[in-house]
């Protein structure tokens, strides 16, 4: 009843603001009404504490049930120990969030333009009420669709990253003692949806994440930004795209010539031309995480089949585990190597792939396609298309970021003599 009354008052306040500001939807939301946006650190801390507490209260009885079941010969019950193990991990997460909140406080992002113009630039100053040891901040701007699927007990909240970009910002002393600040500017594409929280089951979120590696617990601050169509910014972006000879829809993919270096590719001059190398173990952390999940599924499936004779369900779990295992191996040990020069393109890609080559004149295009995501980070593959063959061939995978990946594809195309890629 109390929650219902609060929700009713909040909706009434929102309706009043809609009447006062019918053409300014950012004024309907409390945290977007001013150019200063606070970080979500306090909310994240309490969410971590609440979730860890709930999970451990629910899973604690398993610690008393499993030993008795195993003593009676039910070895499948050992799978139940995964729940308190996850609970221990959640406790660690909650403790880290408490330490992070106490150490760094609530950061504030001051926007130069309020709201942030879709198709324009995010210009802002980040103020941190703590001294950071790092000289650089890692920034990620992402457009995320958070949606609720299912209903009742089967309801789940998921997120899909529609677009993201990264940048590094230099830190400096803040306006007060023991504080840190950073000024930065990032592009905002015109072909993505604006911020929206009208429908709690289907929200569009523009999220800025700032991180830096610090002694002990790292710094991290997350902001939800008001990104809306200001008209003038989008028109200017389209005019710029037309002047540059590209379509308005492609404007969001613009990049600078040297942006390909942000992919982390190793570059050197070698016999036969220029060499670009993505080594193995680049995604070691993500690969190990997927490996743990794969082993859990495989072990659960094995227990079900051997211990309980549940061959159908156990087989399904084991099959999923084996697929995840191959994905973990591919993510961890995949490497890509490209050599361009002397009128030829040579490459090898994959876990076991050998060298292949093609004449530069046989190449129709070099482009990128999204291949997957890890958390809120999008990854792309670089593909070539040849005049005499149908389909496309992947020459590099797990390339981070759309903008740097497209810059790398364009750079390879330029070296190979392809005018447009």
pLDDT in tens, 132-186: 999 999 999 999 999 988 777 777 888 999 999 999 999 999 888 889 999 999 9
Amino acid 2: pLDDT = 57
Amino acid 283: pLDDT = 86
How far is 300 from 322, CA to CA, in rounded Å?
12
Helices (H), ranges, 135-265? 232-243
% of residues, the chain, pLDDT over 70: 90
Amino acid 252: pLDDT = 46
Asked whether residue 407 carries a pLDDT value surpassing 60, the answer given is: yes
Sequence-ordered strand ranges (E) for 171-244: 172-173, 180-187, 202-212, 219-225, 227-228
Least confident span in 45-49, 186-190, 256-260, 302-306: 302-306
Q: What is the mean pLDDT of the chain?
A: 87
Q: What are phi and psi of 167, to 5 degrees?
A: -160, 160
Asked whether residue 273 carries a pLDDT value surpassing 50, the answer given is: yes
Q: What are phi and psi of 105, to 5 degrees?
A: 70, -160
| Residues facing 365 on adjacent strands | 385
How far is 103 from 96, CA to CA, in rounded Å?
10
Find where tokens 């710029």 sit.
Answer: 240
How far is 317 from 122, CA to CA, in rounded Å?
45
Non-local (6+) Cβ contacts of 26 within 8 A are 32, 33, 114, 115, 195, 226, 228
Residue 2, classified by CB atoms within 10 Å of its CB into exposed (0-12), middle (13-18) or buried (19+), is exposed
Amino acid 271: pLDDT = 80
Amino acid 198: pLDDT = 81
Q: How far is CA 183 from CA 89, 124, 189, in A?
A: 35, 6, 20
- Spatial CA neighbour of 400 closest among 416, 369, 377: 377
Asked whether residue 266 carries a pLDDT value surpassing 90, the answer given is: yes
Residue 308, classified by CB atoms within 10 Å of its CB into exposed (0-12), middle (13-18) or buried (19+), is middle
What 3-state DSSP class applies to 266? strand
Contacts of the segment 290-293: beta carbons below 8 A, 24+ positions apart: 290/324, 290/327, 290/328, 290/331, 291/325, 291/328, 291/332, 293/324
Amino acid 250: pLDDT = 42
pTM above 0.85, yes or no: no
Asked whether residue 219 carries a pLDDT value surpassing 70, the answer given is: yes
Amino acid 303: pLDDT = 76
% of residues, the chain, pLDDT over 90: 57
Asked whether residue 248 carries a pLDDT value surpassing 60, the answer given is: no
Amino acid 104: pLDDT = 95
DSSP notation for 66-99:
HHHHHHTT-GGGGGGGHHHHHHHHHHHHHHHHHH
- Spatial CA neighbour of 311 closest among 321, 320, 301: 301
Amino acid 3: pLDDT = 54
């Amino acid at each position: 009843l109390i929650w219902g009354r609060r929700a009713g008052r909040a909706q009434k306040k929102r309706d009043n603001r809609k009447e006062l500001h019918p053409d300014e939807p950012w004024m309907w939301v409390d945290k977007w009404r001013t150019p200063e946006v606070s970080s979500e650190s306090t909310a994240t801390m309490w969410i971590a504490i609440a979730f860890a507490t709930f999970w451990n209260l629910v899973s604690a009885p398993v610690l008393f049930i499993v030993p008795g079941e195993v003593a009676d010969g039910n070895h499948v019950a050992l799978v139940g120990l995964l729940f308190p193990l996850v609970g221990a991990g959640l406790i660690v997460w909650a403790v880290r969030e408490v330490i992070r909140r106490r150490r760094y406080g609530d950061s504030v992002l001051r926007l130069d333009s309020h709201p942030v113009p879709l198709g324009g630039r995010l210009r802002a100053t980040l103020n941190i009420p703590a001294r950071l040891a790092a000289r650089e901040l890692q920034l990620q701007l992402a457009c995320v669709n958070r949606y609720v699927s299912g209903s009742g007990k089967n309801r789940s909240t998921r997120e899909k990253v529609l677009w993201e970009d990264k940048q590094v910002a230099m830190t400096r002393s803040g306006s007060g003692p023991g504080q840190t600040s950073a000024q930065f500017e990032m592009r905002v594409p015109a072909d993505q949806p604006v911020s929206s929280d009208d429908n709690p089951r289907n929200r569009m979120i523009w999220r800025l994440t700032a991180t830096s590696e610090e002694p002990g617990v790292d710094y991290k601050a997350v902001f939800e930004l008001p990104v809306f169509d200001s008209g003038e910014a989008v028109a200017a972006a389209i005019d710029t795209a037309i002047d540059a000879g590209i379509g308005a829809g492609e404007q969001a993919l613009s990049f600078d010539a040297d942006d390909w270096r942000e992919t982390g590719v190793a570059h050197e001059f070698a016999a036969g031309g220029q060499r670009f190398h993505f080594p193995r173990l680049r995604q070691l952390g993500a690969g190990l995480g997927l490996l743990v999940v794969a082993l859990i599924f495989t072990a659960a499936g094995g227990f079900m089949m051997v211990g309980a004779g549940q061959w159908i369900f156990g087989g399904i779990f084991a099959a999923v585990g084996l697929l995840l295992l191959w994905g973990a191996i591919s993510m961890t040990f995949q490497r890509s190597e490209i050599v361009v020069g002397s009128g030829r393109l040579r490459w090898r890609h994959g876990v076991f792939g050998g060298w292949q080559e093609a004449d530069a004149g046989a190449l129709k295009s070099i482009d990128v396609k999204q291949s997957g995501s890890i958390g809120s980070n999008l990854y792309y593959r670089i593909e070539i298309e040849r005049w005499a063959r149908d389909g496309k061939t992947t020459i590099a995978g797990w390339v981070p970021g759309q903008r740097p990946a497209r810059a790398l594809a364009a750079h390879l195309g330029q070296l190979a003599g392809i005018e447009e890629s």
